[in-house]
Amino acid sequence: MSVEVPAGLRELLQAFALEALRRQPADVLDFALQYFADLRDARGEVREPGAAKAVSFAQETLSANSEDDEDDEEFAAPIVNRFVRRASVCAEAFNPDDEEEDKEPRITCPKTDEQRQRLQEACKDILLFKNLDLEQMSQVLDAMFEKFVEAGEHIIDQGDDGDNFYVIESGTYNIFVKMDGVERSVGSYDNRGSFGELALMYNTPRAATIVATSAGALWCLDRLTFRRIIVKNNSNKRKMYEAFIETLPLLKLLEPSERMKVVDVLSSKVYRDGEQIISQGDTADCFYIVESGLVRITMKRGESKKGLENGEVDIAQCSRGQYFGELALVTSKPRAASAYAVDNVKCLVMDIQAFERLLGPCMDIMKRNIAHYEEQLRTLFGSQSETEDENA
């Protein structure tokens, strides 16, 4: 005999059990009554009528938006539950449009010239910092402090409250995510990148565990400064890019709240006429959407692999609203082609972790296009070409 588990039951009970373990209530029954009553009330208030989608409460824990961020509220996940939220971090009031926030005392951690130089170097490619103006960037750099870590050290544990955002100065780190009680390694960082932004952006428990796999050094940005500067910046970004993002065919399968999360992690990069954006054969860590201008995609032919530039052949062009740089991320291979700016180009850039975390639902569309590349490749280079062997 088979017993059917009602949709949502497992997630509901898991989320409840997790919350009970975190909060250690004196009376479990009272706690349970309050927990489920709140859940039902919240559903009554916030859920759109007729939105019949089964909601994963565990997922809500990952995706519930900030209660104190006005802009977040618009795109809030349908259920807001005070128990499933982060429990013990004080909810510092923050309104991204409130200029008063700027008058708060700045946090400054003194640094030597040598430290400041290393910090600047570590931060220069951090996408979340790309849209900051000079004053905001200098406040961020002032507030950051250095932390040395040992191999095996847990920098972040999934489920904890968020304290800092981390920028990697050196060292390697593993990313673990626990799903259905099983912890899996889902990725790693190798001497570059950043992590720990999600809990601070959305007031949620840490979504992953980060463990150092070598000795290393990290630059930490405290939660308050992060929220005051980065979250405020994100609210401006949402205003700027919301309409554009809504028009992108690639993202049409995402829910509106998921599309806004894409905006939160995007940063805008400008390239001058002729500048190289991607180099064929490089290791990939970013994905690009063209915001303005034209991008030329080229591929090397056999002899150019030995260094001859004229072996490059134009294979495609990308204009506003089109994307590139997905292939290497999807296949975990080196870049299959190069990309160059034609005139001045503006691209929205997303890092590989965000790509994997947010664009799962768009994978079918990308894979269909990748199948077209393979057809074109055969037409252009013939089936025996070295290039194809390399990129197949």
Residues that bind ligand 1OR (CB under 6 A): 156, 162, 175, 177, 186-187, 195-199, 206-208, 210, 278, 284, 297, 299, 315-316, 324-328, 335-337, 339, 353, 356-357, 373, 376-377, 380
Q: Considering the complex, what minimum distance in angstroms separates the CB of residue 107 from ligand 1OR?
A: 19
> Under DSSP, is residue 150 helix (H, G, I), strand (E, B) or coil?
coil
CA distance 222 to 245: 30
Task: Give the nearer residue to ligand 1OR in terms of CB position, either 146 or 390.
Answer: 390
Residue 179 Cβ vs ligand 1OR, minimum distance, rounded to whole Å: 7
Q: Distance between alpha carbon 166 and the CA centroid of its chain, in Å? A: 14
Short-list 261, 341, 260, 238, CA closest to 296: 341
Q: Which residues of 170-202 are buried (b: 16+ CB within 10 A; e: fewer)?
A: ebbbebbbeeeeeeeeebebeeebbbbbbbbbb
- 17: region left, alpha or beta (phi > 0 left; psi from -120 to 50 alpha): alpha
Cβ-based nearer residue to ligand 1OR, 27 or 232: 232
| Minimum gap (Å) between residue 284 Cβ and ligand 1OR | 5
| Residue 73, token pair as written in the block | 């509220």
In the complex with ligand 1OR, the residue whose CB is nearer, 82 or 333, is 333
At closest approach, how far in Å is the CB of 33 from ligand 1OR?
A: 30
Of 274 and 382, which has the nearer Cβ to ligand 1OR? 382
Strand-pairing partners, residue 278, are 339
Q: How far is the CB of 344 from ligand 1OR (least distance, A)?
A: 20
- Planar angle of CA 381, 387, 388, nearest 5 degrees: 75
> 132 or 352: whose CB is closer to ligand 1OR?
352
Task: Report the residue number, 30 or 314, with the smaller CB distance to ligand 1OR.
Answer: 314
**To the nearest whole angstrom, how small is the minimum distance from the Cβ of residue 197 to ligand 1OR?**
5
Smallest separation, CB 242 to ligand 1OR (Å):
23
Judged by beta carbon, residue 198 or residue 345, the one nearer ligand 1OR is: 198
In the complex with ligand 1OR, which residue's Cβ is closer, 108 or 185?
Answer: 185
Nearest to 23 by CA among 91, 87, 81, 82: 87
Q: CB-based contacts of 309: which residues, under 8 Å, 6+ apart?
A: none
Q: Which two tokens mark 146?
A: 């250095």
Least Cβ distance, residue 153 to ligand 1OR (angstroms)? 15
Helix, strand, coil share of the chain (percent; to 5): 40, 25, 35
Beta bridge pairs of residue 297:
316, 339
